[in-house]
Structure 1
Amino acid sequence: AARVDGHRLRAESNAIMVGASTIRRDDPSLNVRDYVPPVSPLLNPLDPLRIVLGKAAATAKVQPCREMSGDLGAILDQLGADGILQLLVEGGAGVAGEFHRAGLVDRYVIYLAPAFFGGDDANGIFEGAGAWDISSVWRGRFVGVERVGEDLRLELAPQESAQQ
């Protein structure tokens, strides 16, 4: 159920962004599957624009992919000028960490399953330095908690935009 909900997020977005490392490592499809929109696909095309941050768009499984690099704020400005108003940043951890550190995230959507991954080599949500004490931890605010099948969908906003 969480995967279907994730595909709903893709369908509702104008574009999906991943990093070049994700393209090289996982070769994701980045398309919408297992989700039927409430309106005709002709009125609401399912597959959003696929954007690769860095140099790997030409090797992506699903084409076309738009390759972008540089300052994230400038990239968002360009996408906005092109009519891309809802960008889903799927990551990986490098791209997600860059957006997080730059304060460019309006909403975080995290799925929590009753299962655990872990270990010294387990991937984190973000690459980069983490918080080592409570005074330096990132604080957000829950703006939505929903059960999705056996999983939970947690939606968070940064403290300063939690009122929006």
Structure 2
Amino acid sequence: MAEAVRLGEAARGRSAPNPNVGCLIVSSNGEIVGRGATALGGRPHAEAIALDRAGRKARSSTVYVTLEPCAHESPRGPACADLLVKAKPARVVIAMKDPDPRVFGTGMRRLRDAGIDVKLGIGRKAARDSLAGWLTRLRIGRPRITLKLALSIDGKIALPSGESKWITGEDARKHVHLERAHSDMILVGRGTYLADAPRLDVRLPGLEDWSPKRALLTRGEAVDGWEILRKPEDVYRLHDVNDLLVEGGSATATAFLSADLVDRILIYRAPIIVGEGKSSFGYVGLDAIADAHGQWASSDGRRLGVDRLEVYERVREA
């Protein structure tokens, strides 16, 4: 299942509006005979790809898949539960049930009715983490929003002049490009667009084609090739985006935080002190320190060369 999750994670940022599912097929003698991940744009599904690669070897196999196989009619292709029934594996191991009401338990029931052993819950947390963007959009109607910031030790994003290139080192910047590759869209504000003319592409060898769509938060004129959002709440109309990465400056970060639309914060902290300079955030509606506690939880932290990555997740009621 860990390998199936890895396959699905590799498809994150390219599968929207569908979930980034991973699938691994292991024959009865322990040989991996099929691998699959949701294709660009959502079709074919991971199971269809893995079954096509496995061919007849899928019979009596064990199939590992990160999300319950779909079981609803679609003009874009057959239901994966039906493909699995036809392939006749001995067992299907599923990380998590599909919360989509069109599926929710139907895929597993169809497999069991065909005499296939079904196991649920193996690797559930890892699968949920990988599918967080799609799950967020399915649950609340907008993408999962990640805010990225490069900061000094003292929390500055730039000198008073606005100069910020480069606060962090090469390893941190490579990690940012990996995050871009796993995002469906990147957003900046008008100030960043005018000051930096950002390309917002992926500059990692072999992943150049993974550059996401670009969005601009502005009340000004539209820009060719950019999705225009007039206010942060416009993210609710991004129906083909699972993961949105916000890379704007202080004003954009503050706008999204004030609207309580940020689900995850990536802080790339460099071992430098700027002193007087531009702060990362403005006023976010906080009037008492006590109100700030309990809103964010640290979920990861690691060294990236000379810099340090800090990851925080928004604490929300289930």
CA distance in 2, matches of 1:68, 1:104: 14
Q: Is the 8 A contact 1:111 1:152 kept in 2?
A: yes
1:152 lines up with 2:305 in the alignment: no
1:118 lines up with 2:263 in the alignment: no
Q: What's the offset of the Cα at 1:69?
A: 0.8
Letter in 1 for 2:313: A
Equivalent in 198, 223, 244 of residue 87 of structure 1: 244
Q: Is the 8 A contact 1:15 1:50 kept in 2?
A: yes
CA distance in 1, matches of 2:187, 2:178: 16
Q: Residues 51 and 147 (structure 1 numbering): CA distance in 2 closer, same or farther, change over 3 Å? A: same
CA distance in 1, matches of 2:288, 2:236: 35
1:112-134 deviation per Cα after TM superposition (whole angstroms, max 9, x unaligned): 11112221xx1111233686863
SS, match of residue 263 in structure 2: coil
Q: Which residue of 2 aligns with 1:49?
A: 213
Q: Is the 8 A contact 2:217 2:230 kept in 1?
A: yes
Q: Which residue of 1 aligns with 2:229?
A: 68
Q: What's the offset of the Cα at 1:94?
A: 1.0
CA distance in 1, matches of 2:205, 2:279: 28
Structure 1 range deviating more: 138-147 or 12-21: 138-147
Q: Which residue of 2 aligns with 1:77?
A: 236
Percent sequence identity is 30
Q: Residues 56 and 91 (structure 1 numbering): CA distance in 2 closer, same or farther, change over 3 Å? A: farther
SS, match of residue 7 in structure 1: helix
SS, match of residue 253 in structure 2: helix
Equivalent in 255, 275, 286 of residue 98 of structure 1: 255
List runs of 5+ in structure 1 lacking aligned partners.
Answer: none
Q: Is the 8 A contact 1:20 1:57 kept in 2?
A: no
TM-score, structure 2 as length reference: 0.42
Letter in 2 for 1:150: V
Q: Is the 8 A contact 1:7 1:35 kept in 2?
A: no
CA distance in 2, matches of 1:53, 1:64: 14
SS, match of residue 316 in structure 2: helix
List runs of 5+ in structure 2 lacking aligned partners.
Answer: 1-170
1:128 lines up with 2:287 in the alignment: no
Q: Which residue of 1 aligns with 2:186?
A: 16
Q: Residues 98 and 146 (structure 1 numbering): CA distance in 2 closer, same or farther, change over 3 Å? A: same
Q: Is the 8 A contact 2:185 2:215 kept in 1?
A: yes
Higher relative contact order (CA 8 A, sep 6+): 1
CA distance in 1, matches of 2:261, 2:289: 23
Q: Residues 130 and 104 (structure 1 numbering): CA distance in 2 closer, same or farther, change over 3 Å? A: closer
Letter in 2 for 1:21: G
Q: Is the 8 A contact 1:8 1:35 kept in 2?
A: no
TM-score, structure 1 as length reference: 0.77
Q: Residues 16 and 105 (structure 1 numbering): CA distance in 2 closer, same or farther, change over 3 Å? A: same
CA distance in 2, matches of 1:156, 1:22: 24
Give the number of the structure whose alpha-carbon radius of gyration is greater.
Answer: 2
Q: Residues 26 and 145 (structure 1 numbering): CA distance in 2 closer, same or farther, change over 3 Å? A: same
CA distance in 2, matches of 1:34, 1:94: 28
Q: What's the offset of the Cα at 1:88?
A: 0.1
Q: Residues 156 and 129 (structure 1 numbering): CA distance in 2 closer, same or farther, change over 3 Å? A: closer
